[in-house]
Amino acid sequence: MNATGLRRDEHMERLKLFGLSSPALMLVMVILVIPVGWLFYVSFIGADGSFSLENYERMITRKSYGRIFWTTFEVSLLTTGICILIGYPLAYFMSQLPPRLANLCLIAVLLPFWTSLLVRTYAWLVLLQKNGLVNNWAISLGLWDEPIKIVHNLNGTLIGMVHIMLPFLILPAYGAMRAIDRDYIKAAANLGASPRRAFWTVFFPLSTPGLFAGALMVFVLCLGFFVTPAVLGGGKVIMVSMKIVSNIELFVNWGAASALGVVLLVLTAGVLWIASRFVNLERATGGGGH
């Protein structure tokens, strides 16, 4: 009874849903699929305008490209690592605060987001320079004797990038930690676990999905980071994004730049793919308790 009518209703409902989502679909098409497709296309165009693999060949044959990719991964890994070391304890501290205080801390963590990335990066340049605030204070306090080089090199790059990236790690980690029922920790204590063991056997394993999500986000964002390493690296830290810029600005070689972009995109997708497999694997076996 009513089978045809009901089926038609179902069909209409789907159609409406599709209609509602079509603006978003179109947006994705225009700003994502078409440009990326164009990028792929351009990367296979040689200097003479015909189809060629020379842009990719160059990346394999020239050693400097290998070094740039290596630097990109190195800087990204270091930034992620430092973010974990700084961000995890902070997220843990915040997760143990009463909600109102924790929200205040959260606002403090998010505050930098309300300032332009460029402004924050140049602010670091001022703070970290030879006679900048950091060096002067450290010397006055007797931490070190003469100005040390903390900008226009890897140090400066890392300081700036960690500062920019930290919220991306803290937010998911904090979210995961907040979701951990305090009764788990009580149960661990009741069963005989000292606070330290309760942390390592119960709290930490339960917080790893959030930490992992945050670390992944930081790492992937770092891979394509441009402004901060360009300003604070002083040309000594060349990452892929900077090579892309120089390919266009100095050599006006869109093909080479596009090929770099494609490789970076594929590598990033690869990292995400491997990571997603890792996460699923962990869930399937009940999580990395030990």
Query: Using CB under 8 A, which of the segments 1-9, 69-77, 144-152, 176-184 binds other proteins?
Result: 176-184
Query: How many residues of this chain interact with other proteins, rule: CB under 8 A?
Result: 23
Rounded to whole angstroms, the Cα distance separating 189 from 202 reads 10
For position 276 contacting other proteins by CB under 8 A, the verdict is: no
Rounded to whole angstroms, the Cα distance separating 174 from 94 reads 7
> Considering only residues 188, 213, 222, 230, which one is a binding residue for other proteins as defined by CB under 8 A?
188
Rounded to whole angstroms, the Cα distance separating 197 from 187 reads 12
For position 286 contacting other proteins by CB under 8 A, the verdict is: yes
Rounded to whole angstroms, the Cα distance separating 134 from 147 reads 9
For position 200 contacting other proteins by CB under 8 A, the verdict is: no
Closest approach of other proteins to the CB of residue 35, in Å: 42
Q: Sign of the C-alpha dihedral, residues 10, 11, 15, 16?
A: negative
Contacts of 43 (CB under 8 A, 6+ apart): 55, 56, 255, 258, 259, 261, 262
For position 202 contacting other proteins by CB under 8 A, the verdict is: yes
Q: Is 279 exposed, middle or buried (0-12, 13-18, 19+ CB in 10 A)?
A: middle
Q: Tokens 């306090």 appear where?
A: 141
> Considering only residues 37, 66, 270, 289, which one is a binding residue for other proteins as defined by CB under 8 A?
289
Query: Using CB under 8 A, which of the segments 29-37, 68-76, 118-126, 184-192 binds other proteins?
Result: 184-192
Closest approach of other proteins to the CB of residue 71, in Å: 37
Query: Using CB under 8 A, which of the segments 142-150, 152-160, 179-187, 250-258 binds other proteins?
Result: 179-187
Check: CB of residue 203 under 8 Å from CB of residue 125: no
List, in sequence order, every residue forming a beta bridge with 51; answer none if it has no partner.
45
Closest approach of other proteins to the CB of residue 288, in Å: 7
For position 205 contacting other proteins by CB under 8 A, the verdict is: yes
Closest approach of other proteins to the CB of residue 127, in Å: 42
The binding site for other proteins (CB under 8 A) comprises 181, 183-184, 186-195, 197-198, 201-202, 205-206, 286-289
